[in-house]
Amino acid sequence: MRLLHTSDWHLGRTFYRESLIDAQRAFLDHLLTVVREREVNAVLVAGDIYDRAIPSLDAVALFDHALNSLADLQVPVIMISGNHDSPQRLGVTSRLIERAGIHLRTDPATCHTPAVLHDAHGPVAFYGLPYLEPFLTRENMAADKPTHEAVLGAAMDRVRADLATRPAGTRSVVLAHAFVTGGHTSDSERDITAGGIPTVPAAVFEGIDYVALGHLHRPQKVTDRIRYSGSPLAYSFSEAGYAKTTWLVDLDAGANLTAEAVPCPRPRALDTLTGHLDVLLKDHQHEHLRDAWLHVILTDPQRPINAMDRLRTRFPRTVQLTFAPEDNGPRGSATYTERTRHRTELEITAGFVDHVRAGHAPTPAEHDLLRRAVEATRRNDIVKEIS
C-alpha cells in the first residue's frame, strides 16, 4: 500500500504578516498532483491542519477545497487534529465526511478504533491519535499521571490491544501529533511543555509498522518506521537551510517499508543578511535576494533612521529586522533590577538612550529635554494622585 504522509499545513498562517494562502493553495495542488501521478492509496495528515482554533474564512475555504478534491480522486484520507486545532470545531462533520472516505480523528476516546483499508495483500489498520494534552486527556486515557509520555503510552496500549484482535498479517499505521525524543525542532513550533517534559520516547510506538508524526516542522526520521513529514512551508527563518518534503511510503505484504522524500514547492527563497545598512543597500552580490523573504541584521554602531523603509527600497520582501551593533565592549551581565537600583528616573532614561545608541550618551541638549520630560511626568502623577 502506498501512503503519502504530510502534516502541519497550518492553513491561515502568515509569515511575518505576509499572507501564505496562495502558497498553501499551491502546496495542496501539488499534493493532489502527487496523489494522482504516483498512484497513492491513502493520504495521511498528522495534525495542525489549521494554524489556530478559530481559523480564518480563507483557511476554511482552502481546507474545503482540499477535502473535496481528494474525495473526487476517491483516495482515502486519514487525518488527526494537532495542538493548533480545535478538536471540537474540526471534528464537527467527521461522521458525515467519513462517507466520502475521509477519516478524521479528533476524539481521544476513539483513538483505538481504526480506519481499515485493503489492498491486494490484505488489511491495513490506520489508528489516528489526535494531540493529547496531558491535563485534559489523562482521565479519558486512564493514564497514571498527566504527562505526555503517560497519556500517549496509554493510548498506544489501547491501539495494541485492538490490533491484537485483528486478523493475522494485518499491517498497522499510527498517526500521532507529538514531540518524540530525538526529533529536531525549529523556531516555529508552539511549545507543548505543559504536562512536564514535552518529549515522549520512540518506544511508545513499539510494534507498529509505520508511525506518521506531526508537530515538528523539519522533515526527519526518528527511526526507519517513525518519521516526521514536517510542514510543507517554512514558517520561520530557522527552516531556511533544508528542503520541505512529504514522505511517499510503500508497505509491502510483509510490512517491509520503503520511503521517498517528495519535495514541496517553495514560494520564494529565505535568507539572512548581516552588515551595515549602506553596504547592504549597495553590494551587488545580494542582487539575487531582491525577491527573497529576508531577515536583516544591522550591525551599524548607531540605529539607522527609517532602516526598514530604506531596506525595502532594494529588498521589498524584508520581513524581519534586528539591530545588533558591532561589539563596543562588555556591557555586563547584571539584571535590570540590579542595573537600575539607586538610580533616578532621569539616570535610567538617559541610560536607555545610551543603550539603544550603542554607547552614545545623550548630548547636553538631549539631556535637558529628558530632564524636562521626566519632571513633567512627575508633576502629572502628583496631580492625578491629589485629584
Give, in degrees to the nearest 5, the angle at Cα 136 between 134 and 139: 85
Same domain, 131 and 180: yes
The pTM is what?
A: 0.82
Same domain, 40 and 184: yes
Same domain, 210 and 313: no
In a domain, 36, yes or no: yes
In a domain, 331, yes or no: no
Asked if residue 375 has pLDDT above 80, the reply is: no
How far apart CA 59 and CA 53 sit, in angstroms, is: 11
pLDDT tens digits, residue range 205-264?
999 999 999 999 999 999 999 999 999 999 999 999 889 999 999 999 999 999 999 999
Same domain, 374 and 256: no
Same domain, 107 and 249: yes
Same domain, 123 and 249: yes
Q: Total structural domains in the chain?
A: 3
Same domain, 205 and 343: no
Same domain, 30 and 80: yes
- What was the pLDDT predicted at 328? 54
In Å, what is the CA distance from 202 to each residue of 70, 186, 187, 206, 364? 31, 19, 22, 8, 64
In a domain, 153, yes or no: yes
- What was the pLDDT predicted at 387? 46
How far apart CA 202 and CA 179 sit, in angstroms, is: 10
Provide the residue range defining the domain that includes 354.
336-386
Cell numbers that stand for 384 in this block:
492625578
In a domain, 209, yes or no: yes
- What was the pLDDT predicted at 94? 85
Cβ neighbours of 114 (radius 10 Å):
24
- What was the pLDDT predicted at 374? 78
In a domain, 329, yes or no: no
